[in-house]
A and B are shown apart, each in its own frame.
Chain A
């Protein structure tokens, strides 16, 4: 078997592999700009928190309507947005910081979600919700994740200047006519929608990995926001391909394989990236000492 066969044959031979490839690629494209802005805003853990926050809604949808995509989506969207709004409200009205109030609400949410799923569903159902069914994507799931990715890319392109300005200097934006607050709200909604749309593909727990790992890795290679978004998208797609291939040939679960591939890209970037990577720093220090 040649290398080309190894890489191409699974996708050429099997429709479910092509669907998986399309699904993960779309998830990666939509998640890339959001992940980059989350890293820039120092809100990386927010994505994690949100992925837990959508769980009880997904579970409630599952309890009420069975394995219906629409119901689970609606539920996830409602609880995800509720946690985001409640956490923002508590941070605004009390001295508790936003990160702490987020943590509190997503932990409540996670407990509630696991409880709901285990009350009615089997352990198998819980695993599907948590880790996705990337090798069993139907048309509805594919349309949802590709549609979400398209809308996300268009929306972040339209809001790009506002998001950058709000990130860099929120006070300046407020003094010059504002717009930062609602851009931030739209951004949070996009994060939730992408997590919900991605849970069929990678699962509620793993989908956030597709958002954060490529973005955090890209930061070590390029210094501009636009460059980071492009690289994060490319890394995400590459991790999807690599993860699917490893999962196919090694008979391993796909979703963790994809996230681990993205994780590997992140670790390599931390070590070797020219923008503050560890080896780069060591080399610079070595040169300084030599002089």
Chain B
């Protein structure tokens, strides 16, 4: 990274590659996410953005290179998957689903006390879903579901937030509201990494950008990364299949 703060990065990659069944979806990633930084991950479909996020979350080991997560940060790391990963027909209320965010503190056996319940309600209020707390998640619209997932994320109280296409299935009103939450987290000193398609949004809110196309095209300050040359290189990359 060219201009990050001097503090040691929370997540550092060195020539890392991630993929499935031994086949790398993304490789040659070198750099770090500074504490409190706000980084967008951009690139065409199939560029390996989600795979990289899952790799950092720890769902797979690097196929090559190294991934180093700062001591203590692994447990303070939260991941917002693409909404499609979740079984939305499952009969659970919005409040209970949001309460899952306390998993690291409560786990499978400890009591879910009044303090945690209060936090869950606070999170629901923050995303504007307090009125739907007792509804089943199946009755939520796409935008409401994403709000609920953001509430669950808030309950996780993580220091590093990895968001995989957080605004993909939501209307612009919801996207604005959720973007405000993300900015607020950034303001509280949390580290934010978000996979995004909307380059205008990236330019407006994200100081750092990592541009991928099956490999690392560029990583640094957004203005220096999202140049016509880099974007053309990302689109023309041989792994582009859209």
Residue ranges of A at the interface with B (Cβ–Cβ < 8 Å)? 40, 158-159, 161-162, 164-165, 167-169, 171-177, 179, 183, 223-225, 228
Of all chain A residues, the one with the shortest Cβ separation from B82 is A171
Find chain A residues with CB under 8 A from B77 CB.
175
- CB-CB under 8 A from B57, the residues of chain A are 175
| A158/B103 in contact, CB under 8 A | no
Let me know if A225 and B91 touch, CB within 8 A: yes
A224 touches B91 (CB 8 A): yes
Shortest distance between the CB of B239 and any CB in chain A (Å): 22
**B59 beta carbon closer than 8 Å to chain A:** yes
Q: Of A159, A167, A168, A225, which is within 8 A of B108 by CB?
A: A159
Q: Which residues of B contact A176 (CB under 8 A)?
A: 103-104, 156
- Assess the A223–B81 pair: CB atoms within 8 A: no
Which B residues are CB-close (under 8 A) to A165? 100, 103, 108
What are 11 A-B interface contacts by the 8 Å CB criterion?
A: A40-B90, A159-B108, A165-B100, A168-B90, A168-B97, A172-B81, A172-B103, A176-B104, A177-B107, A183-B108, A223-B136
Judged by a CB distance under 8 angstroms, whether B242 is at the interface is: no
Is B87 in the interface zone, CB < 8 Å from A?
Answer: yes
Contacts of B59 in A (CB 8 A): 171, 174-175
**In the bound complex, how far is the Cα of B110 from the Cα of A162, in angstroms?**
12
B residues 121-146 touching A (CB-CB < 8 Å): 136
A52 CA / B82 CA spacing, docked (Å): 38
B229 at interface, CB cutoff 8 A: no
Within the complex, the shortest CB–CB distance from A168 to chain B, in Å, comes to 5
B interface residues with partner A (beta carbon < 8 Å): 57-59, 77-79, 81, 85-87, 90-93, 97, 100, 103-104, 107-109, 136, 156
What chain B residues lie within 8 Å of A167 (beta carbons)?
87, 90
Could you say which of A168, A174, A175, A223 contacts B87, with CB atoms under 8 Å apart? Answer: A168
Residues of B within 8 A of A169 (CB): 81, 85-87, 100
Nearest to B92 among chain A residues (CB) is A168
The CA of A169 and the CA of B109, in the complex, are separated in Å by 18
Complex CA distance for A158 and B58, rounded to whole angstroms: 27
Question: What is the distance, in angstroms, from B154's C-beta to the closest C-beta of chain A?
Answer: 14
**A158-B109, A169-B87 known; A177-B81 Cβ under 8 A:** no
For A161, give its contact among B85, B86, B97, B108 (CB under 8 Å).
B108
Contacts A161-B108, A168-B92, A168-B100 known; list 19 others, CB within 8 Å. Answer: A158-B109, A161-B109, A164-B92, A165-B100, A165-B103, A167-B87, A168-B87, A168-B97, A169-B100, A172-B103, A174-B59, A175-B77, A175-B79, A176-B104, A177-B103, A177-B104, A224-B91, A225-B92, A228-B91
Residues of A with C-beta under 8 A to B90 = 40, 167-168
Distance A174 CA – B104 CA, assembled complex (angstroms): 12
Contact A162 B108 (CB under 8 A): yes
- Could you tell me the distance between the alpha carbons of A177 and B156 in the complex, rounded to whole angstroms? 13
List the B residue with the shortest CB-CB distance to A158. B109
Complex Cα spacing A228 to B91, Å? 10
Closest A residue to B85 by beta carbon equals A171
Chain A residue at minimum C-beta to C-beta distance from B112: A161
Q: Which residue of A lies closest to B156 (CB)?
A: A176
Among residues of B, the one whose C-beta sits closest to the C-beta of A224 is B91
Residue pair A171, B81 in contact (C-beta under 8 Å): yes
Which of A40, A175, A223 makes the CB contact (< 8 A) with B58?
A175
Instruction: State the 3 A-B residue pairs at the shortest beta-carbon distance, nearest first.
Output: A168-B90, A162-B108, A161-B108
- Give A215 Cβ to nearest chain B Cβ, in Å: 13
Residues of B within 8 A of A179 (CB): 108
Name the residue of chain A whose CB is nearest to the CB of B139. Answer: A223
Q: A164-B92, A167-B90, A228-B91 are in contact. Are A172 and B108 (CB under 8 A)?
A: no
B26 → chain A closest CB, angstroms: 18
Chain A residue with the shortest CB-CB distance to B90: A168
In Å, the complex CA distance between A176 and B107 comes to: 9
